[in-house]
C-alpha cells in the first residue's frame, strides 16, 4: 500500500462524498475532507470558502464544479496542489469557492430589431450557456470584502463573477445570475486561477 492509497481509504471512511459536475458526464464516488478555512473570522469567509483535501487520484481539477452529496452545496475548485511524500503524490490540497449562483445564464448579442410600438432598436440575445454554476461577489458585501486579508479572499473585489473557463464567456456578454438581473461583462481575467474566468461586471442597460 502506498501513502496515497492509505489517505484515499481514510478519506472514504471519514470524508464527505462529492460528485464532479462536468458537461461530458458527472463523476461520483470520490471523497474529500472539506473544512472551513483556519483563519475564518467573518461571515462572508465562513459561508463561501473551504479548504479541501482530495485523494491522489481525484478526477476533480481546477475549474471544475463539485457537489457535496450530503448537502447538495456546489463549489468551484480553484486549485489542486499536490502533497509529495515518499516520492509520490499522497493527496491534493485545494481551496473551494462556494457557488452562490446555481442557474446563471450567459448571453451574447445576436443583432438588433426595431420595436413595432416605439420604433427603437432593441438588442437581441442568444443564450451561450444556461444553468451556470458560479460565485458572484457583489457590492452587497461592502468594503469588508475588499479589505479582507483572510485566506481565499486575497485579490477578491466587488462586482466579480468566478466561473469555469469552459463556459466560454466573452467581453460584452450579458450575465444573468437570476431572473430580471442583468450585468454586462466588461473585462475578463483568465490568469488569476487555472481554468477559471473572473468576469468584471457592471449593470447592463442595453
What CATH number is attached to the domain comprising 29?
Answer: 2.40.10
pTM of the model: 0.85
- pLDDT at 151 (0 to 100): 45
Alpha-helical segments (H) within 49-195: 143-147
Q: What is the pLDDT of residues 118-145, one digit of tens each?
A: 777 888 999 999 999 999 987 544 444 4
Q: Give the pLDDT band of residue 95 (cuts 50, 70, 90).
A: very high
Tell me: do 172 and 122 sit in the same domain: yes
Tell me: do 85 and 147 sit in the same domain: no
User: Which residues, at least 6 apart from 27, have a Cβ–Cβ distance to it below 8 Å?
Assistant: 19, 20, 59, 60
The answer, yes or no, to whether residue 20 has pLDDT greater than 50, is: yes
Q: How far is CA 120 from the centre of its chain?
A: 38
Tell me: do 84 and 133 sit in the same domain: no
Tell me: do 71 and 124 sit in the same domain: no
DSSP letter at 6 equals H
How many domains are contained in the chain?
2
Contact at 8 Å (CB) between 59 and 30?
A: yes
What domain range includes position 168? Answer: 101-203
Q: What is the pLDDT of residues 21-80, one digit of tens each?
A: 998 899 999 999 999 876 656 666 777 889 999 999 999 999 999 999 999 999 999 999
- How does strand 196-203 pair with strand 183-193? antiparallel
Q: Give the pLDDT band of residue 85 (cuts 50, 70, 90).
A: very high
29 Rama class: left (phi>0) / alpha (psi -120 to 50) / beta: left
Tell me: do 130 and 44 sit in the same domain: no
Question: What is the spatial distance between Cα 112 and Cα 121, in angstroms, rounded to a whole number?
Answer: 6
Tell me: do 81 and 123 sit in the same domain: no
Sign (positive or negative) of CA dihedral 74, 184, 190, 149: negative
Contact at 8 Å (CB) between 31 and 55?
A: yes
Domain end residue (candidates: 68, 98, 128): 98
Tell me: do 110 and 69 sit in the same domain: no
Amino acid at each position: 500500500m502506498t501513502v496515497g492509497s492509505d489517505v484515499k481509504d481514510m478519506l472514504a471512511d471519514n470524508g464527505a462524498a462529492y460528485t464532479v459536475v462536468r458537461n461530458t458526464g458527472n463523476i461520483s464516488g470520490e471523497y474529500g475532507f472539506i473544512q472551513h478555512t483556519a483563519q475564518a473570522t467573518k461571515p462572508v469567509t465562513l459561508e463561501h470558502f473551504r479548504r479541501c483535501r482530495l485523494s491522489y487520484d481525484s478526477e476533480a481539477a481546477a475549474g471544475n464544479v463539485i457537489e457535496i452529496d450530503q448537502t447538495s452545496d456546489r463549489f468551484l475548485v480553484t486549485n489542486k496542489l499536490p502533497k509529495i511524500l515518499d516520492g509520490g503524490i499522497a493527496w491534493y490540497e485545494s481551496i473551494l469557492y462556494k457557488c452562490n449562483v446555481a442557474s446563471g445564464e450567459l448571453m451574447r448579442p445576436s443583432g438588433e430589431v426595431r420595436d413595432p410600438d416605439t420604433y427603437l432598436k432593441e438588442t437581441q440575445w442568444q443564450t451561450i450557456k444556461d444553468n451556470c454554476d458560479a460565485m458572484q461577489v457583489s457590492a452587497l458585501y461592502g468594503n469588508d470584502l475588499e479589505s479582507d486579508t483572510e485566506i481565499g479572499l486575497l485579490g477578491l473585489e466587488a462586482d466579480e463573477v468566478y466561473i469555469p473557463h469552459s463556459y466560454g464567456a466573452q467581453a460584452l456578454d450579458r450575465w444573468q445570475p437570476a431572473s430580471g438581473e442583468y450585468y454586462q461583462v466588461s473585462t475578463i481575467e483568465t490568469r488569476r486561477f487555472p481554468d477559471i474566468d473572473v468576469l468584471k461586471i457592471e449593470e447592463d442597460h442595453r
